Amino acid sequence: MNEKKDKTDLLDMNRLPEHVAIIMDGNGRWARRRAMMRSEGHAEGVNSVNRITRLSSDLGIRYLTLYAFSTENWKRPQAEVDALMHLIGWTIRKETPDLVKNNVKIHLLGEIDRLPESVREDLEAGRQATAHCTGLNLMICLSYSSRWELTNATRRIAKKVKAGELSPDNITEDTIASELSTSGIPDPDLLIRTGGEHRISNFLLWQCAYSELYFTPVLWPDFDNDAFVDALLDYQNRERRFGMTSDQVSVAHHNDEPGNDSTPVNNN
């Protein structure tokens, strides 16, 4: 009997990332390998979106950010863009009831105004239907790029300075972070890219300053629960130092453990 053990049992549930971001790449190659249309690869990719959203929600991950369509993806052949837009609208309509049932809240990041009106309506309906949900925050990046976002943020900050509401000397990292579409959301702990490319492709450049990066050759439509758990296990084996030494990090961890009443250093 081939009784397969659930890989999630291997996870340390106390050390899960709070925020996972995914560059979902490889749909086109998945289709080409099967002599199918690229759009069929995207359709198959939707199954992975549903699967990974469900598992993230079940595990209690707080934030899942999915790169679904980049600013640069508008340069693709019109037929592929149209097929993707249609698929996005159709998926959100179809999946919203399940998202509500699973307490998943939809957030939209990107230049949504550029999307066709019917898709915008579907997205907005999904967003409103899940606005009360308190479980997983599902952030869908559409017509998104980090440089677009940073340019917008800069423009807004410049307007505040011009209006006399903000002094240039008072611009801090928090000022910039608060003008991004991820304002109020913790930075990704783990950034996954499927499909074998080792690049960021204009995704969350500011927010991923200290994210753990995980690249896998698995094509997005093939990215199953085990592949996701592999990424989480890899993450759990890393030491996040944030510029400190390994010794400092172990002391900080030790002090965090229950029963270790450390006195925090007060810098004020």
Q: Which residues are catalytic?
A: 25, 73
Q: Is 21 in the site for ligand IPE (CB under 6 A)?
A: no
Closest CA to 144 of 102, 118, 111: 111
What is the layout of strands, in order, in the sheet containing 63-70?
105-109, 137-144, 63-70, 19-23, 190-193, 212-215
28 binds ligand IPE (CB under 6 A): yes
Cα–Cα distances in angstroms (integers) from residue 94 to residues 50, 123, 138, 141, in the given order: 11, 11, 16, 18
Kindly give the residue spans of alpha helices, DSSP state H, lying in 102-145.
117-129
CA–CA gap between residue 116 and residue 253 (Å, rounded): 49
Kindly tell me which residue out of 17, 21, 25, 38 binds Mg ion, with binding defined by CB under 5 A. Answer: 25
Pick one of ligand IPE, Mg ion, none as the site partner of residue 69 (Cβ within 5 to 8 A by kind): ligand IPE
Of the residues 21, 56, 57, 67, which one makes contact with ligand IPE according to CB under 6 A: 67
Residue 223 interacts with which of ligand IPE, Mg ion, none, CB < 5 to 8 Å by class = none
What is d(CA 49, CA 139) in angstroms, rounded to the nearest whole number? Answer: 12
Give the per-residue contact string, 194-223, with ligand IPE (x = CB under 6 A; - = no).
Answer: -x-x-x-x----------------------
The type of residue at 72 is E
User: Judged by CB, which is closer to ligand IPE: 223, or 235?
Assistant: 223
Contacting residues toward ligand IPE, per CB under 6 A: 23-29, 67-70, 73, 84, 195, 197, 199, 201
